[in-house]
Amino acid sequence: MGTFKIEGGAPLKGEIKPQGAKNEALQVLNTVLLTPEKVTITNIPDIIDVNKLIALLGNLGVKIQKLEHGSYTFQADEVNLSYLESEAFKKEGSSLRGSIMIVGPLLARFGKGYIPKPGGDKIGRRRLDTHFEGFINLGAKFRYNEEDHFYGVEAERLQGTYMLLDEASVTGTANIVMAAVLAQGKTTIYNAACEPYLQQLCKMLNSMGAKITGIGSNLLEIEGVDTLGGCEHRILPDMIEIGSWIGLAAMTQSEITIKDVSWDNLGVIPNVFRKLGITLERRGDDIYIPAHTDGYEIQNYIDGSILTVSDAPWPGFTPDLLSIVLTVATQARGEVLIHQKMFESRLFFVDRLIDMGAKIILCDPHRATVIGLDFKSKLKGILMSSPDIRAGISLLIAALSAKGVSTIQNSDQIDRGYERIDERLIALGAKITRID
């Protein structure tokens, strides 16, 4: 278990480039199982969760070649399906929630897909029903071994159909799409997720020979094909990391430029931070944030009522940035209500911020009211632990803005989502020491 020691209170300065998107990588890497031909993927983030998935693909028999940092070729022409029934797979698959997305491609190409109950962040229940109901709608037979917590689906050939998803699950939609591209006939998915990650997946599949229309909407239509070929694909910059750096710049009153952000794929993210009073400028495809030496003021609604920031499926505000918004609001002028609608337990890290001196009222498991300190009272460094990836980066940002020294235990959680986080922040002037 790793630990970060942070000396806070100093402004940072410089340029930082976001890594490739973790959530996209955990989807598009699984497409390599759909074809025996070579697939090249670039801008892959070098983080724990993604590396676990790459290792899992290797154990499945996928031939993997690293070309350079973040660039790999994959060829699944000799897949070892017996690995799916091994004890090693049960252990390795259960440690990574993204492993659920190997099921759709395996089912589509080989007629069977198995997975142990996946792990991941402890942010409340994240059910798998949408995935398996989609496979069943396509004609697969479902089975579940309760004793081993092992799921399985099997089908000789999937059949296209119409389905209305009960939730716009991103990973559920991705898994169903990857299964449907090789199904016989036409599949229509209504209430599909339409996040940029899902759009990227669909565009990649089309470049492999799939026939998907409606990309970017919540109504996808897929004409099944018999085979898919290889392709080259580049992963988008990580929008969650971009939002994290915006929050970091404002809260540490730092002048930072975020390079190559793919503005057109950021949706409402820049405007949400502007509502917190944060100034950010578009310079080409970069984001420039000036040093907020005079602070930043939260906007009220036009009728004077308190601003509410809540999460929603795309094109709404991503839930992965709510913890950043909450943390940054602790030093704003004004008040804001944070409403976490999509997950449970994601606001329970606020007790650490309260211990640091923040003024936060946790109304219930889903809502918190933040009363900004306007930098008149600095947060103070404390000993704390990172409960998950997004809370962890939020606490790291708080520690960098705080007076004194903070220690964040369980920093491995942060490493699961952020590549070389300490080295990249040190390059901006942060004082971080990694203790393994």
Q: What is the pLDDT of residue 162?
A: 98
Name the nearest CA neighbour of 248 among 371, 417, 429: 429
Tell me if 22 is assigned to a ligand binding site.
Answer: yes
Task: Decide which of 123 and 184 is more confident.
Answer: 184
- Identify the band that residue 125 occupies on the pLDDT scale cut at 50, 70 and 90: very low
pLDDT of 148 over the 80 cut: no
CA distance 236 to 34: 21
- Concatenated DSSP letters of 28-49: HGGGGGG-SSEEEEES----HH
Amino acid at 96: L
Predicted confidence (pLDDT) per residue in 288-305, tens digit = 999 999 999 999 999 999
The mean pLDDT value for 66-78 works out to 97
pLDDT of 328 over the 50 cut: yes
CA distance 133 to 140: 9
Q: Which entry of 121, 238, 388, 422 is annotated as an active-site residue?
A: 121
CA-to-CA separations, 30 to 111, 182, 383, in angstroms, rounded: 16, 14, 39
pTM of the model: 0.92
Q: What is the pLDDT of residue 120?
A: 44
Are 176 and 138 in contact, with CB atoms under 8 Å apart?
yes
**Could you tell me where in the chain the CATH 3.65.10.10 domains are found?**
3-19+237-435, 22-234
Q: Which two tokens stand for residue 392?
A: 């962890």
* Number of Cβ atoms within 10 Å of the Cβ of 82: 10
To the nearest 10°, the Cα dihedral for 293, 298, 299, 300? -150
To the nearest 10°, the Cα dihedral for 371, 342, 420, 234? -130
Q: What is the pLDDT of residue 350?
A: 94
Predicted confidence (pLDDT) per residue in 417-429, tens digit = 899 999 999 999 9
Q: What is the pLDDT of residue 122?
A: 41
The whole-chain average pLDDT of the chain stands at 93
Tell me if 178 is assigned to a ligand binding site.
Answer: no
The superfamily (CATH) of domain 3-19+237-435 is Enolpyruvate transferase domain (3.65.10.10)
Q: What is the pLDDT of residue 301?
A: 94
Are 405 and 381 in contact, with CB atoms under 8 Å apart?
yes
To the nearest 10°, the Cα dihedral for 228, 229, 230, 235? -30
Phi, psi torsion values for 347, nearest 5 degrees: -100, 0
The answer to whether residue 121 is catalytic is: yes
Q: Which two tokens stand for residue 36?
A: 């025996």
Q: What is the pLDDT of residue 90?
A: 81
Tell me if 23 is assigned to a ligand binding site.
Answer: yes
The class level of CATH for 22-234 reads alpha beta
Q: What is the pLDDT of residue 235?
A: 98
